[in-house]
Amino acid sequence: MALHISNACFPVLGHSRVQRTRAVASEGSATLKIDEEKVKLGGSDLKVTRLGIGAWSWGDTSYWNNFEWNDRNEKDARNAFIASVDSGLTFFDTAEVYGSRFSLGAINSEVLLGRYIKERKQKDPEIEIAVATKFAALPWRLGRQSVLAALKDSLSRLGLSSVELYQLHWPGIWGNEGYIDGLGDAVEQGLVKAVGVSNYSEKRLGEAYEKLKKRGIPLASNQVNYSLIYRAPEENGVKAACDDLGVTVIAYSPIAQGVLTGKYTPENPPTGPRGRIYTPEFLTKLQPLLKKITGIGEKYNKTSAQVALNWLIAQDNVVPIPGAKTAEQASEFAGALGWRLTDEEVAELRSMASEIKPVIGFPVEKL
């Protein structure tokens, strides 16, 4: 079962070989601690790394992992978590529906993340890891109590007493005011440090912001599909509204589910559901942009994925959360920090991408 969603922001720091958060990254003559350069989410007091890691694929068998989950997949996911933390990336995003019974998953992503956090804290009790998870606005969930109940279930799966960020995964068919009330209740009960929404339009974003504001609670974030080749948040007013209200944009599918890495070609398109989105025809049109990304990457000794992520960070008020399935991917993503594209390069990439019809790289949220 799938829900189709129609609607769909600081200098950067870090390095792929950072050792936990105590290590440093150098840019020119400057040496800066990644842990000291976190960004606040909106008007909240919550600080997270400028780039997070998405855990959508962990445990999933309906969209990722070639429709199966085995010991190798779990080992890879654990190593991705370890490499992320070792690289200084300590902000992880998951959801109750990732890898759940709703999405025909093998094991819930929250369970895996909780397991990995517990293992890491046993070795390093002082490590600080920020967890973001989400409430599924399922049609039969009504009122503010449904939000609290779902949150407590998520906390149980994670093995935590609270999380840093709790988000509404998408707008509900009804009951949205109650859902916002539930977010406020979660903050007041100390179950979360900050709250956000996801896949919210400009109008819905404003309504949620104002409702929480009346309780003295800031709306920290709006998580949306945002990448170089899917810039709907710029075009539908969501990015501008977030900037105006002081709400951080969390960008999911920031490398277009791997397409912006250059690994896929018209002759070698993605498999599974992604193959129906990123067709050989689209990949053919994408080649000039991919070549430009590769060229810019060579200038900085960076990969295409790092360039695509850096482009998003350069938009300001944006925290990308690429999904990491392996340690190699997690370490690579950390290399998107510690350097900066020029304004001219940012504009050139946008101009080239504008000539390509946007593709919704994340057409459904798996339930």
Residues written for the chain: 367
How many Cα atoms within 13 Å fall on the side-chain side of residue 332?
Answer: 20
Output the domain CATH number for residue 12.
Answer: 3.20.20.100
Structure tokens that stand for 282 in this block: 């689209």
| Residue 264 annotated to the active site | no
- What pLDDT, in 10s, does the model give residues 104-152? 677 899 999 999 999 999 999 999 999 999 999 999 999 999 999 999 9
Q: In the predicted model, what is the mean pLDDT of residues 207-226?
A: 98
Kindly report whether the global pTM for this prediction surpasses the value 0.85: yes
- For 61, the domain range is 2-366
CB 37 within 8 A of CB 25: no
Angle between helices 343-354 and 280-300 (to 10 degrees): 170
Question: Per residue, what are the HEC states of 128-193?
Answer: CCEEEEEECCCCCCCHHHHHHHHHHHHHHHHCCCCEEEEEECCCCCCCHHHHHHHHHHHHHCCCEE
Q: In the predicted model, what is the mean pLDDT of residues 292-299?
A: 98
For the chain, give the percent of residues with pLDDT over 90: 78
The yes-or-no verdict on residue 61 having pLDDT over 80 is yes
- What pLDDT, in 10s, does the model give residues 16-29? 333 333 333 333 32
pLDDT at 21: 31
Q: How many domains are contained in the chain?
A: 1
For the chain, give the percent of residues with pLDDT over 70: 87
Catalytic residue among 98, 116, 166, 264: 98
The yes-or-no verdict on residue 15 having pLDDT over 80 is no
Q: Which amino acid type is present at position 9?
A: C
- What pLDDT, in 10s, does the model give residues 67-79? 788 999 999 999 9
